Amino acid sequence: MHEKERHRIILSAAQEKPVVTVAELVDLTESSEATIRRDIAALHVAKRLRRVRGGAEALSPPQFVGLAGRPFSVNQTMNARQKQAIAKAAVALCDDGDSVIINGGTTTFQMVHHLANRRLQVFT
Protein backbone atom coordinates (compact mmCIF):
# COMPACT_ATOMS: atom_id res chain seq x y z
CA MET A 1 0.00 0.00 0.00
CA HIS A 2 1.29 3.45 -0.89
CA GLU A 3 2.09 6.03 1.75
CA LYS A 4 -0.67 8.42 0.65
CA GLU A 5 -3.27 5.67 0.91
CA ARG A 6 -2.05 4.69 4.40
CA HIS A 7 -2.18 8.34 5.49
CA ARG A 8 -5.74 8.65 4.20
CA ILE A 9 -6.77 5.52 6.13
CA ILE A 10 -4.99 6.68 9.30
CA LEU A 11 -6.61 10.14 9.19
CA SER A 12 -10.02 8.63 8.52
CA ALA A 13 -9.67 6.18 11.42
CA ALA A 14 -8.58 8.99 13.74
CA GLN A 15 -11.75 10.94 12.90
CA GLU A 16 -14.03 7.99 13.67
CA LYS A 17 -13.04 7.51 17.31
CA PRO A 18 -11.26 9.49 20.02
CA VAL A 19 -7.99 7.52 19.86
CA VAL A 20 -6.89 4.97 17.28
CA THR A 21 -4.14 2.54 18.31
CA VAL A 22 -1.11 1.44 16.34
CA ALA A 23 -2.42 -2.15 16.44
CA GLU A 24 -5.75 -1.07 14.91
CA LEU A 25 -3.93 0.82 12.17
CA VAL A 26 -1.69 -2.18 11.47
CA ASP A 27 -4.84 -4.28 10.92
CA LEU A 28 -6.51 -1.61 8.77
CA THR A 29 -3.53 -1.01 6.50
CA GLU A 30 -1.88 -4.44 6.65
CA SER A 31 1.42 -2.63 7.30
CA SER A 32 4.10 -3.15 9.93
CA GLU A 33 4.11 -1.38 13.30
CA ALA A 34 7.27 0.47 12.32
CA THR A 35 5.63 1.79 9.14
CA ILE A 36 2.54 2.93 11.04
CA ARG A 37 4.67 4.64 13.69
CA ARG A 38 6.62 6.48 10.95
CA ASP A 39 3.34 7.49 9.28
CA ILE A 40 1.91 8.78 12.57
CA ALA A 41 5.12 10.73 13.21
CA ALA A 42 5.01 12.26 9.72
CA LEU A 43 1.34 13.21 10.06
CA HIS A 44 2.05 14.67 13.52
CA VAL A 45 4.89 16.84 12.16
CA ALA A 46 2.61 17.94 9.30
CA LYS A 47 0.01 18.89 11.98
CA ARG A 48 -2.63 16.61 10.48
CA LEU A 49 -3.10 14.56 13.67
CA ARG A 50 -1.74 14.34 17.21
CA ARG A 51 0.60 11.54 18.20
CA VAL A 52 -0.29 9.97 21.56
CA ARG A 53 1.12 7.04 23.50
CA GLY A 54 0.30 3.89 21.55
CA GLY A 55 -1.51 5.59 18.69
CA ALA A 56 -2.94 8.83 17.39
CA GLU A 57 -5.91 11.16 17.75
CA ALA A 58 -7.49 13.71 15.45
CA LEU A 59 -6.59 17.36 16.00
CA SER A 60 -10.29 18.08 16.35
CA PRO A 61 -11.76 14.94 17.95
CA PRO A 62 -15.18 13.78 16.78
CA GLN A 63 -18.15 15.29 18.61
CA PHE A 64 -20.41 12.63 20.02
CA VAL A 65 -23.92 14.01 20.06
CA GLY A 66 -25.12 11.85 22.94
CA LEU A 67 -22.10 12.69 25.03
CA ALA A 68 -21.39 16.25 24.01
CA GLY A 69 -24.73 17.69 23.05
CA ARG A 70 -25.80 21.29 23.27
CA PRO A 71 -25.64 22.98 26.67
CA PHE A 72 -28.76 22.85 28.84
CA SER A 73 -29.21 26.63 28.61
CA VAL A 74 -29.28 26.45 24.81
CA ASN A 75 -31.75 23.54 24.73
CA GLN A 76 -33.95 25.36 27.22
CA THR A 77 -34.53 28.24 24.80
CA MET A 78 -35.30 26.00 21.82
CA ASN A 79 -39.05 25.43 21.29
CA ALA A 80 -39.71 27.13 24.64
CA ARG A 81 -43.45 27.73 24.05
CA GLN A 82 -44.05 24.11 23.11
CA LYS A 83 -42.09 22.88 26.13
CA GLN A 84 -44.11 25.11 28.46
CA ALA A 85 -47.37 23.85 26.94
CA ILE A 86 -46.28 20.22 27.34
CA ALA A 87 -45.21 20.86 30.94
CA LYS A 88 -48.52 22.54 31.79
CA ALA A 89 -50.49 19.65 30.25
CA ALA A 90 -48.37 17.07 32.10
CA VAL A 91 -48.91 18.79 35.45
CA ALA A 92 -52.66 18.90 34.77
CA LEU A 93 -52.60 15.08 34.75
CA CYS A 94 -51.17 15.00 38.29
CA ASP A 95 -53.42 14.95 41.37
CA ASP A 96 -52.39 15.92 44.89
CA GLY A 97 -50.87 12.91 46.65
CA ASP A 98 -49.56 11.36 43.42
CA SER A 99 -46.00 10.13 43.00
CA VAL A 100 -44.28 11.40 39.87
CA ILE A 101 -41.01 10.37 38.24
CA ILE A 102 -39.36 13.20 36.30
CA ASN A 103 -36.21 12.82 34.23
CA GLY A 104 -33.64 15.55 33.72
CA GLY A 105 -34.57 17.40 30.57
CA THR A 106 -35.44 20.87 29.43
CA THR A 107 -39.11 20.03 28.85
CA THR A 108 -39.60 18.42 32.25
CA PHE A 109 -37.68 21.31 33.81
CA GLN A 110 -40.54 23.56 32.72
CA MET A 111 -42.84 21.54 35.02
CA VAL A 112 -41.12 22.93 38.12
CA HIS A 113 -43.02 26.22 38.04
CA HIS A 114 -46.37 24.46 37.77
CA LEU A 115 -45.54 21.86 40.45
CA ALA A 116 -44.39 24.35 43.09
CA ASN A 117 -47.78 24.58 44.86
CA ARG A 118 -48.78 20.93 44.42
CA ARG A 119 -48.61 18.19 47.05
CA LEU A 120 -46.75 15.48 45.13
CA GLN A 121 -43.96 13.05 45.77
CA VAL A 122 -41.41 13.73 43.03
CA PHE A 123 -38.66 11.25 42.11
CA THR A 124 -35.81 12.36 39.90
What domains does the chain contain, in order, with CATH numbers?
3-57 (1.10.10), 72-123 (no CATH)
- By DSSP bridging, strand 50-52 and strand 55-57 are antiparallel
Cβ 10 vs Cβ 20: under 8 Å: yes
Inter-helix orientation angle 33-45/3-16, to 10°: 80
Q: Would you call 57 helix, strand, or coil by DSSP? A: strand
Q: For the chain, what is the mean pLDDT?
A: 88
d(CA 36, CA 11): 12
Per-10-residue mean pLDDT, the chain, length 124: 92 88 94 96 95 91 59 79 93 92 90 88 88
**Cα(80)–Cα(21) distance, integer angstroms:** 44
Residue count of the chain: 124
In tens, the pLDDT along 57-92 reads: 998 865 555 555 677 777 887 888 999 999 999 999
